[in-house]
Structure 1
Amino acid sequence: MHAFNLQPKKISLAERLADMAVDALIDEADLSPKPALVDRRGNGAHTDLHLGLMHASALSLWPAFKEMADAALGCGEIGLPLREALGRIGREGEAAMLATTNGVNTHRGAIWALGLLVAAAALEPESSVASAVTLRAARLALLNDRYAPQSLSHGAQVAQRYGVRGAREEAQLAFPAVTGLGLPQLKRSRAAGAGEQNARLDALLAIMTTLADTCVLYRAGEKGLQAMQSGAKAVLDAGGSASLGGRRQLHALDQQLIALNASPGGAADLLAACLFLDRIERGDGLFPGVC
């Protein structure tokens, strides 16, 4: 076939949603300077993570996200069959991730959050407002997967110990840290001319101001959580990451969290969810070229 006769391959809705989920994870990883998190500067508070590993992990999850979207399209409705299919696919995706990272947990929380959102978006692609997508995701999260492991994750154990919301409860409440804090701040900072990278940093910080991040609690206890929340608020109060004062506060927060070994991985997962929903809302290629 002559090269000029080649036509771009149409991609399915499930493939496009998987693309968008992986893009959100890579954009979150690349965003810099994030306090105590892996980014383009370095490893933050981590000794077992680096940017290349985060990229490889994100890419390894593409098949799982596609399969989750296909499962939603196949089921066509919210119910136990879809919930349990998502649980099975998520566990298989986690195994693929751990095989890629040699056992390092890079994106376990993101599989849960983005998996639900991918499925919710696939169920009603014409209803792409973030509040509608997260509500569908919440309805899925409220269903009990009979085949889920009975042992609690570190995050769930920490949530019980401190009496705070974990990743499961955040999803069951329709991701309030994302829809009530992250996305509004992202839009405000954009409107103020902060630039896309600074707007995304501000969205992360807005999530951090109130989130009971179980990753921080696990690594640094209540002292680390208080430092994260108050430090993030100080950045935004100083004018956000696009301002000189905000950058000074952000640098101080980064240093403080690293000293405490407190990495806000839960907030990072929710930022990825925020970026995914932002793409869905703006219609960045969800329908064009989809077969």
Structure 2
Amino acid sequence: MNAVGTAPTAAGHGPALQVAHPAVTVRRTVHPVDTARLGRLAIASLHAELACAPKPGLVTPFSAGSHADMDAGTFLRSLFALRHYYRQIASAGAQDAPFEVLRTLGIAAEAAMLRATNGVNTHRGAIFSLGLLVASAARGRAHSGTALAAEQVCLQVQHWADDLIQAPLNADSPGQRARAQHRVAGVREQAAGGFPLLRELTVPALRDALGAGLPREAALCHTLMQLVAVVDDLNLLHRGGAAGLAWAKAEATAFLHAGGAHSADWRQRLARIDAGFVARRLSPGGSADLLACAWFLLQQEGA
């Protein structure tokens, strides 16, 4: 028995599902899913977010950003600890496992992350959001036999909406305290709604940036600033309050109005913005999680 309570093959094969009916039994084929590949894409997406620079207030290979307790090495240790989690949650999704199985896998992954980082939270948000998206992508492939469009993967997370809303929260976490204080929706509400910020903003913005010919790093940085300009990022609210969030949004908006990453001097301008974020100890970690999720969603379309 594996961690999700079933024994799939290495490729994620599962049995056909039978649906009882008074007069007829309908047999639905469950298609094989390469869960290992989906897991690798998830880790690669988190690494792509880490690697792009400059990113205001965020950890990069060259800077710890606004963080005194973590750097790129901390993130890499965390990614190594999570390398099996995304494959496991893909297997669970491919087998239509209930939400409680996904939640149990996420709790175990968070514990593994904290052990690897000596208690530093590097990827708690990504364990939740990206984990659900990986499970949804695998579930969609198992049912349809093909990769789903990014937007459809997001929408299918609503399959677990009722359980998502009812799941217990850690009311003492910084994000939840900021959410309650400022009365903004959190990531749980985003997930239950089919991730509208991903469907309506992040994925289209990243598609457009790549379609316009921007290299990966520039496209990711440009999309990140589009997120910072509009998202009520709980990390920004926790660190800077409403005033800090408003300042960050204004800086991102000004960057975009000046051409964003389409301008020749975008790196220099973004580095100056980064210095301002660091001086104010601001870090848009929620937006960074959405960015990694969007990169995964686009990459899984062709995988």
| SS, match of residue 263 in structure 1 | coil
TM normalised by structure 2 equals 0.83
User: Which deviations, in whole Å up to 9, do the C-alpha atoms of 1:8-35 show, x marking residues without a partner?
Assistant: xx86521111101101111111111111
Distance 1:206 1:59 in 2: 29
Q: Match of 1:41, as an amino acid?
A: F
Which residue of 2 is the match for residue 266 of structure 1? Answer: 286
Matched, 1:106 2:122: yes
The aligned residue for residue 274 of structure 2 is 254
Whether the 8 Å CA contact 1:234–1:249 is kept in 2: the answer is no
Residue pair 1:121, 1:128 contacting (<8 A) in 2 also: yes
Matched, 1:57 2:73: no
Match of 1:18 in 2: 39
Displacement after TM superposition at 1:69 (Å): 1.2
TM-score (norm 1): 0.86
Structure 1 residues 205 and 150 mapped into 2: Cα distance closer, same or farther (>3 Å)? closer
State whether residues 236 and 246 of structure 1, in contact with CA within 8 Å, keep that contact through their aligned partners in structure 2. no
CA distance 1:200–1:138, change in 2 (3 Å):
same
Shift in alpha-carbon separation, 1:150–1:253, aligned structure 2, 3 A: closer
Matches within 5 A, 1:233-252: 233-244=253-264, 246-252=266-272
Q: Bigger CA drift: 47-56 or 98-107?
A: 47-56
Say whether residues 1:123 and 2:144 are aligned partners.
Answer: no
Unmatched runs of 5 consecutive residues or more in structure 2: 1-9, 13-33
Residue 91 of structure 1: aligned partner = 107
Q: Is 1:82 aligned with 2:98?
A: yes
Are residues 1:154 and 2:174 paired? yes
RMSD across aligned C-alpha pairs, in angstroms? 1.9
The whole-number CA distance in structure 1 between the counterparts of 2:77 and 2:158 is 29
Structure 1 unaligned runs (5+)?
Answer: 1-9, 287-291
**Counterpart pick for 1:224 among 244, 248, 266:** 244
Distance 1:233-1:170 versus aligned 2 partners, 3 A rule: same
Q: State whether residues 61 and 72 of structure 2, in contact with CA within 8 Å, keep that contact through their aligned partners in structure 1.
A: yes
Q: Tell me how far apart the structure 2 counterparts of residues 272 and 171 of structure 1 sit (CA, whole Å).
A: 15
Secondary structure class of the residue paired with 1:38: coil
1:132 shift after superposition: 0.7
Residue pair 2:170, 2:176 contacting (<8 A) in 1 also: no
2 CA distance for matches of 1:116 and 1:68? 8
